[in-house]
Amino acid sequence: MKLIKIPDVLFATLSAISIFLLCFAVASLIEPYTFQKFFSAESIQAIANMQDVTNKDSYYWDVHYYANMAIKDQCIAFYPMLPWLVRNLFRPQTFEQAVVGLKIVSCVCFLIGIPFFFDLVKKISNSNSSAFLLTLLYTVSPMAIYRVIGYTEGLFSLLSLILIWLITNTELNKRYVYIYTLFVISIMSLTRPIALQITFSASISLIAIVLFNQLKNGLKFKESLQNIKHKHQSFIYLSLIMIVGSAIAYSIYGFICVQLRGDFFAPFADQKLWDKSLGFYPQIFLPFRFPFFEQMALYFPTIFLIVIIVCLYSFVKCKQIEIFLPKLSIWWCLLAIYPPILVVVYIFVFLQQKFKINNLSKIDFSNSLKLRQISTSYPFWFCFNFVLSHVIINLITTDKIPSLARYNFGLPFFFIALAYVLKDIKNTKIDRLLAWFILVGLIALVEQWVRYGKNLWLG
């Protein structure tokens, strides 16, 4: 009897969906109102009348505004693309109908995005096992709950995957890539406020690639601007198109705001109500102030930035680099879920290595073509800088990090950047670490669904 082999993408998709649904089912057994809240029209109507929600810490705060925008045009801090889709697909007449429409669109985008994510990561990593683990990690992230409950994460994540597919596609004609990128960026920028993130990511990605190419030539900066423009022409065009696309999208929303409120920048004025002011707030890095997933969203991009700079410096200087780890990997995995302690322990590990203590294992990361590939990869830099932009925005606007985990782990950019980083690191410890984070994500996702059922803050 010949066994029928399930395609890898189908197996990964079904596994991810099954585990996600299992987390929802377990949470519904712990807190029955979780199931009722997600499916019951009665509970939705209660929220419509604002009987159960009295403050902005509740889940329904944002959805309340999106639902109202789906019924009638409004100009507020939230952006119009998701409500516009719901309005044109479902023609809601009541708040209840609008919330149902929001959830349907979110869930459909969530389901479509899983196989899309797997194929994209498989293409980047050239590994079925890495693609499978990262797909599970992405799907059972505790912030994945935002992709199905009516927020913009479901739609925005799918659009983000389409964007990343476009800028990684080497077979599509460049002109089509530019046209489609402009279109996708415009829709993304009408879905949520990302003009600053897009401008930062596109600009810094281009600068990083140009700078590295200059540095690898022996610190020779005599190359003319004309030569630089010719060598990096496609990256320059991509960056300009993304920045222009986000500006065009906001202009559309700004025009609507002029009609409704007489103020082109009304959404920015509304965002001031979120207690943000320009400054410098390094105290956000102090441990124990925030939930550990918020700290993971803060520390991991920062740690990756330091590691990437060290790796690229070693490549430019033609020096071999090795990342040292304790041989007892289970302790390393335990520490990794709380990055502030991880940083302290790694400093200790580094000092051990300096003094030639032998109870360490290592991961080789040679200064070879591998580093050259990642250092000149526009998709990698763009994804990583998009994540980093949220950290920087928090660093200069608020002494808190609310929703940082949602921005960094609820979207695919962090996981795609991680796929590039792990692509050339072949080590069983990495697979164990990913499996460990999947387990932690499962437990945290169950907790998120329980909190959802209790109308508590989700992050």
Whether residue 398 lies inside any domain: the answer is: yes
Domain span at residue 257 reads: 8-320+366-453
Whether residue 70 lies inside any domain: the answer is: yes
Whether residue 72 lies inside any domain: the answer is: yes
- 399 — pLDDT class (breaks 50, 70, 90): confident
- 177 — pLDDT class (breaks 50, 70, 90): very high
- 26 — pLDDT class (breaks 50, 70, 90): very high
Q: What pLDDT digit, counting tens, does each position of 229-270 carry? A: 767 788 899 999 999 999 999 999 999 999 999 888 888 887
Quote the pLDDT of residue 374.
77
- 156 — pLDDT class (breaks 50, 70, 90): very high
Quote the pLDDT of residue 18.
96
Whether residue 386 lies inside any domain: the answer is: yes
Query: Does 55 have pLDDT greater than 80?
Result: no
Most confident region among 57-61, 218-222, 341-345 by mean pLDDT: 341-345
420-424 contacts, C-beta under 8 A, 24 or more apart: 420/124, 420/374, 420/377, 420/379, 420/380, 420/383, 420/384, 421/304, 421/308, 421/374, 422/125, 422/130, 422/134, 423/124, 423/125, 423/126, 423/127, 423/130, 423/370, 423/374, 424/365, 424/370, 424/373, 424/374
Whether residue 17 lies inside any domain: the answer is: yes
- 355 — pLDDT class (breaks 50, 70, 90): low
Whether residue 2 lies inside any domain: the answer is: no
**pLDDT, mean of residues 153-161:** 97
pTM, full prediction: 0.89
Whether residue 20 lies inside any domain: the answer is: yes
Whether residue 98 lies inside any domain: the answer is: yes
- 436 — pLDDT class (breaks 50, 70, 90): confident
Number of domains the chain is built from: 1
Q: Which of 88-97, 350-359, 387-396, 421-430 has the lowest mean pLDDT?
A: 350-359
